[in-house]
Amino acid sequence: MTGSRPLWIAALLLVGAAGAFWGAGSVPLALLSLASVAAAVALSGLGRRILGALLVVVGVAAAFNGHWLAIAGGVLVVGSGVLQVALGARMPKIGVGGQKTRAQDPETDMWRALERGDDPTDDKAPGGPSSNE
């Protein structure tokens, strides 16, 4: 399983739970599920595991509502929470997935120096050519 796949699964479980809670008339739990999607994507490591544990507790409590949609939503929230507790450390944090180190490109560095207001051809400028006169 790739690192981002469990995160997508956890988010989809929470969105499904929000729909189930909305259908059961539990609007606060539906909003909590949607907010948990944002929290699951933004958090990482220990924070995501704590969120997962809280979701397990909320899901179990919501399943005792008695309405079949609330039970289904509770099961989905518990599933998302268990997934976050088990694999939370391996899931990527927002903005981290797919970033690669940039190779040094002298031409790009020169353009960036111009954008900063530096003269890249000046000997005194950092990164400029050195003259041995």
Dump pLDDT digits (tens) for 41-76.
888 888 888 999 999 999 999 888 778 999 999 999
DSSP state of 6: H
Q: What is the pLDDT of residue 41?
A: 85
pLDDT classification of 15: cutoffs 50, 70, 90: very high
pLDDT on residue 124? 64
CA dist 16 and 78 (Å) reads 12
Token code pair at residue 34? 């949607």
Q: Is the dihedral of CA 29, 33, 35, 36 positive or negative?
A: positive
Say if residue 131's pLDDT is above 50. no
Q: Identify the pLDDT of residue 3.
A: 61
Angle between helices 68-87 and 27-42 (to 10 degrees): 20
